[in-house]
């Protein structure tokens, strides 16, 4: 053969590549590890135990007990969800009830927090009650189904979700994950809780009747973009 050189075409493609990217901040605890170390819970630890995959109150006498845990979030996330299962093996009353409070830990001109209360009134009208507070003032509420926590046992797996300034409360009163919408509200000020505190008040006969499970706090930032797109092409240096 001659020394003729075969020059292959070189195709230049100008492409723009896109993908769907999800950045998530998640705090979860199903208590299957049998302790309060991962994540780290602090407070009245001596009054709580983890057995059979649940966090349980085991207090020596009537009184109050509390635990707290950090729940870091992505403040730029469009949606943040807070989920937790709370069970009381009795019908709640003004002397026997539980709360879960979501707290924004940043240094701000006022303390901002969200209190979710499980029962705590007389009679059988106990319900989920969510109160938004700023600087000690109540600035918004969400209410669950009246009477939903008025029986024995009183159980609620709640989901509190906010997208922008819109907050939505959903719950499954069987303890499952079939969440039903309870209430929705728009707040006039931003709040992004990044820690959680559980609290319970109990009489002497209820010192071992509270339990919690399946903490889940998620904040996701999603970028939805199109697949690769061919913008242009050029055939250069063709064979001669």
pLDDT, residue 21, reads 61
pLDDT, residue 230, reads 53
Q: Name the more confident of 20 and 90.
A: 90
pLDDT, residue 110, reads 82
Q: How far apart are CA 174 and CA 156, in angstroms?
A: 7
Task: Write out pLDDT tens, residues 96-140.
Answer: 999 999 999 887 778 899 999 999 987 889 999 999 999 889 999
Q: How far apart are CA 51 and CA 34, in angstroms?
A: 6
pLDDT, residue 232, reads 58
Nearest to 38 by CA among 193, 215, 161: 215
Burial class of residue 212 in the structure, from the number of CB atoms within 10 Å of its CB (0-12 exposed, 13-18 middle, 19+ buried): buried
pLDDT, residue 158, reads 98
Task: Write out pLDDT tens, residues 173-217.
Answer: 999 999 999 999 999 878 889 999 999 999 999 999 999 999 999
- The pTM for the full model equals 0.83
pLDDT, residue 9, reads 41
pLDDT, residue 75, reads 87
What does the mean pLDDT of the chain come to? 87
């Amino acid at each position: 053969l001659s020394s003729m050189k075969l020059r292959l075409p070189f195709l230049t493609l100008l492409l723009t590549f896109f993908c769907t990217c999800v950045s998530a901040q998640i705090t979860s605890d199903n208590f299957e590890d049998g302790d309060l170390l991962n994540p780290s819970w602090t407070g009245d630890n001596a009054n709580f135990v983890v057995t059979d995959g649940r966090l349980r109150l085991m207090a020596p006498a009537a009184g109050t007990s509390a635990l707290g845990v950090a729940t870091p979030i992505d403040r730029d996330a469009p949606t943040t969800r807070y989920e937790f299962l709370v069970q009381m093996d009795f019908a709640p009353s003004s002397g026997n009830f539980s709360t879960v409070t979501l707290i924004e830990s940043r240094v701000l001109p006022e303390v901002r927090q969200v209190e979710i209360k499980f029962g705590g009134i007389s009679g059988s009208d106990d319900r989920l009650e969510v109160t938004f507070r700023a600087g000690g003032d109540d600035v918004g509420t969400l209410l669950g189904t009246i009477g939903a926590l008025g029986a024995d046992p009183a159980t609620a797996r709640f989901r509190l979700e906010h997208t922008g300034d819109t907050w939505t409360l959903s719950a499954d009163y069987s303890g499952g994950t079939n969440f039903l919408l309870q209430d929705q509200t728009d707040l006039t000020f931003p709040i992004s809780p990044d820690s959680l505190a559980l609290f319970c008040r109990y009489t002497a006969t209820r010192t071992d009747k509270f339990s919690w499970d399946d903490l889940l706090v998620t904040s996701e930032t999603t970028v939805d973009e199109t697949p690769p797109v061919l913008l242009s092409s050029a055939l250069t240096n063709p064979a001669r």
